[in-house]
Amino acid sequence: MTKPDLLLLASYPDPVVSALERDFTVHRHSEDAIPAELAERVRFVATGNGSGCGRATIEGLPRLEIVGSFGVGYDKVDVAAARERGVRVTNTPDVLNDCVAEVTLALMLALCHRLPQADRYVRDGRWEREGDFGLTAELTGRRAGILGLGRIGKEIASRLQAFRMEVVYHGRNRQEHQPYPFYADLAEMARDVDWLVVIAPGSPSTRGLVSREVLEALGPEGHLVNVARGSLVDEPAMIELLSQGRLGGAALDVFAQEPHVPEELRRLENVVLLPHQGSATHKTRAAMGDLVVRNLRAHLRGEPLLSAVA
């Protein structure tokens, strides 16, 4: 029996492509180079992992039924365009919560204890030549404010508590049954915390939420952690304030124009920078890939989707 065509718009790990190939004939193309004859007949799209599926693509695939996206954040998929056409969209929630929470703590520990600098100090032979590295700060007893106490935010919160940090949070809604104090105003929370941890979705409603005002409220003793999306933070203001010592430090996994990271930011000593590694472990990426495949396969078989956003 012929397998249905699937348009793969992203770079997927090889085992995930192999799993897709069990049920589909996989065609790899970028959004701007989809062959016309394939566009006419394709019903399945797989994307994510840095790629998206924009309105023009959705509107250019007349038989499209479903877009499976690799990642919990689906800000590069035009969900409104999909809904208008009755196209289903799936993402990969939950399977990456532990990994992203772990990387968040790793970033915070690295920034606080200056681990990258201390490692470089040993490698460069400076310990032997110049003596001790110097003293750093610690997380214990400090207060962290979480912007976005969702699936991942809650896992971060419990790990911060294991470090005996005080946790508060901001979101659009106060959540019942959460032990953490809620702030309705983000700038007010930023003023009151030592660490601001950003883990809300990238969307029109969160764009620029971590504004100059919020960063100034966080202040010279404050630290920003962004594991969400670069779009949430006013990046030029952040770089300016970090350079002037008006923001204490930043630990960043995500940036406004990935993979571009501004030179000025890369030169700063009070930052730790990761290349969007939040979910990048063998175990978690395999689980994410598996969920993409199971969603697409479920649709093919007329079964309920496992994690639909549209």
Site residues, ligand 8YV (CB under 6 A): 48-50, 70-73, 96, 276, 278-279
- For residues 182 and 177, give the distance between their C-alpha atoms in angstroms, rounded to a whole number: 11
Instruction: Say whether residue 13 binds ligand NAP (CB under 6 A).
Output: no
Instruction: Say whether residue 10 binds ligand NAP (CB under 6 A).
Output: no
Instruction: Say whether residue 253 binds ligand NAP (CB under 6 A).
Output: yes
Task: List the one residue from 81, 193, 228, 252 that touches ligand NAP (CB under 6 A).
Answer: 228
Minimum distance from residue 229 beta carbon to ligand 8YV (Å): 7
Residue 28 annotated among the catalytic residues of the structure: no
Minimum distance from residue 30 beta carbon to ligand 8YV (Å): 16
The one of ligand 8YV, ligand NAP, none whose footprint includes residue 173, by CB under 5 to 8 A per kind, is ligand NAP
Instruction: Say whether residue 199 binds ligand NAP (CB under 6 A).
Output: yes
Minimum distance from residue 279 beta carbon to ligand 8YV (Å): 3
At residue 222's C-alpha, the angle toward residues 150 and 243, to 5°, is: 115
Kindly name the residue from 59, 138, 258, 264 that is annotated as catalytic: 258
Minimum distance from residue 202 beta carbon to ligand 8YV (Å): 8
Of the pair 172, 260, the CB lying nearest ligand NAP is at 172
Q: Measuring CA to CA, which residue among 227, 243, 269, 252 is closest to residue 136?
A: 269
HEC-encoded secondary structure of the chain: CCCCEEEECCCCCHHHHHHHHHHCEEEECCHHHCCHHHHHHCCEEEEECCCCECHHHHHCCCCCCEEEEECCCCCCECHHHHHHHCCEEECCCCCCHHHHHHHHHHHHHHHHCCHHHHHHHHHCCHHHHHCCCCCCCCCCCCEEEEECCCHHHHHHHHHHHHCCCEEEEECCCCCCCCCCCEECCHHHHHHHCCEEEECCCCCCCCCCCECHHHHHHHCCCCEEEECCCHHHECHHHHHHHHHCCCCCEEEECCCCECCECCHHHHCCCCEEECCCCCCCCHHHHHHHHHHHHHHHHHHHCCCCCCCECC
The one of ligand NAP, ligand 8YV, none whose footprint includes residue 171, by CB under 5 to 8 A per kind, is ligand NAP
Kindly name the residue from 229, 285, 297, 299 that is annotated as catalytic: 229
Burial of residue 172 (CB within 10 Å: 0-12, 13-18, 19+) is exposed
Of the pair 22, 172, the CB lying nearest ligand NAP is at 172
Instruction: Say whether residue 173 binds ligand NAP (CB under 6 A).
Output: yes
Please, are residues 66 and 77 in contact by the beta-carbon 8 Å criterion? no
Instruction: Say whether residue 49 binds ligand NAP (CB under 6 A).
Output: no
Contacts to ligand NAP from residues 265-304, by CB under 6 A: 276, 278-279
Instruction: Say whether residue 100 binds ligand NAP (CB under 6 A).
Output: yes
Stretch that binds ligand NAP, among 44-52, 106-114, 205-213, 263-271 (CB under 6 A): 205-213
Residue 264 annotated among the catalytic residues of the structure: no
Residue 191 annotated among the catalytic residues of the structure: no
Residues 78-97 as x/- pattern, contact with ligand NAP by CB under 6 A: ---------------x--x-
Contact set with ligand NAP (CB under 6 A): 72-73, 93, 96, 100, 148-153, 171-173, 199-202, 205-206, 209, 227-229, 253-254, 276, 278-279
User: Annotated active-site positions, please?
Assistant: 229, 258, 276
